[in-house]
Amino acid sequence: MERLTKVADHARSRLDRLWSRGSDFLGTRVAILGGAMSWVSERHLVSAISNAGGFGVIACGAMGPALLEAEIAATQARTEKPFGVNLITMHPQLDELIQVCICAGVTHIVLAGGVPPGPAVRAVKESGAKLICFAPALVLARRLVKSGADAIVIEGSEAGGHIGPVSLTVLAQEILPYLRDVPVFVAGGLGRGEAILSYLEMGASGAQLGTRFAASTDSIAHPNFKRAFMRANARDAVPSVQLDPRFPVIPVRGLVNEGTKRFLELQAETVRRFAAGEVSREEAQLEIEHFWAGALRRAVIDGDVENGSVMAGQSVGMVTRAQSVQEIVDELVQQAAQAIAGRD
Ligand SMILES: Cc1cc2nc3c(=O)[nH]c(=O)nc-3n(C[C@H](O)[C@H](O)[C@H](O)COP(=O)(O)O)c2cc1C
């Protein structure tokens, strides 16, 4: 019994050492971030993740400055632990949103959705807040670090939501051995502690998960949304399909449903109308882009999982039952520690 406790203690302290750079950077007990998810990552889920020892991140999405200010204050009322705010770089009020974060004393700001503009980077840096950016390739990661990023998230195409083309398995090999200047967090398709451990051993400082937290009992997502996650297998979470190279579709990973089928039909019909001269190229592109407007909200908040956008990572196959955020975090830590202990 005593030996078992010693092995467990040893495994846990080995894990703590492996992700200490990440947990020091985040100011947390464990280096696990709850990736920002529009409509999902609000005060309840974010504070639950931070209170569980991880690092919650508010998804600002399309919120304006006043709403973001209220969301930050409400989150601060629920946790004294650190959390971050994720801002989309193309938001028309990006500068104001950064000021809201700074004035509220947010310690970590994530700039997502493209290379952040210079003034935004400078504003974050001058405030003393830590800047986290996404890098889809090593060259870009190096450029972001040079311009001021204090940490990088590499997100593989297994992830839910907007995705790049490369899997985490490959991104990790391309980036982790070469980017040592700042902590690097891995994301996409992660559902178990053993997988997180393997990336820590490759040089990652921590991991970011979205899908598993979205389905947690602390998430405000509609019961239909969570049920869809529990029923789905990895193969059901697929990227959006682009029918015609002339009309680009932003790749988004989510569960196949009526909406994804109708999206294909809409593209086919729009391309036909363009070919027949009934609509201009710009009108056709706009029609395609508008198809998903408001669709994530429809699925997450209204529970319309047939017509809405049920964004989910391939990790959705590992969502099998309703669990609290605390249970998920503890389970991930336990799995990683057990894998370490199993080697002794
Ligand atoms: C429903 C949903 C919405 C998301 N929305 C955003 C977002 O608004 N901004 C963002 O940077 N990432 C977003 N993501 C990506 C997550 O932050 C996270 O990186 C991703 O979920 C990790 O992969 P996993 O789902 O396999 O754990 C979203 C993911 C999901 C599942």
Tokens of 294: 């408001």
Both tokens of 96, joined, read 């104001």
The reported pLDDT for the residue numbered 1 is 58
Distances (CA, A) of 65 to 36, 95, 235: 17, 10, 38
- Indicate whether this model's pTM tops 0.95: yes
3-class DSSP state of 174: helix
Q: Nearest to residue 269, comparing CAs of 256, 252, 288?
A: 288
What 3-state DSSP class applies to 176?
Answer: coil
Model pLDDT, residue 2: 64
> Distance, CA 35 to ligand 1 centroid (Å)?
6
pLDDT at 343: 85
Closest ligand 1 atom to 110 CA: 11
The span from the CA of 77 to the CA of 58, in Å, is 14
pLDDT for res 6: 73
The DSSP secondary structure of 72-131, one letter per residue, reads: HHHHHHH-SS-EEEEEETT-TTHHHHHHHHHHTT-SEEEEESSPPPHHHHHHHHHHT-EE
Q: Can you tell me the distance from the alpha carbon of 183 to that of 26, in angstroms, rounded to the nearest whole number?
A: 10
Spell out the per-residue pLDDT of the chain, length 344, in tens.
Answer: 566 677 688 999 999 999 999 999 999 999 999 999 999 999 999 999 999 999 999 999 999 999 999 999 999 999 999 999 999 999 999 999 999 999 999 999 999 998 999 999 999 999 999 999 999 999 999 999 999 999 999 999 999 999 999 999 999 999 999 999 999 999 999 999 999 999 999 999 999 999 999 999 999 999 999 999 999 999 999 999 999 999 999 999 999 999 999 999 999 999 999 999 999 999 999 999 999 999 999 999 999 999 999 999 999 999 999 999 999 999 999 999 999 999 86
Kindly report the protein residue whose alpha carbon is nearest to atom 21 of ligand 1: 210
Ligand 1 binding pocket mutation candidate from 32, 33, 37 (most atoms within 8 A of CB) = 37
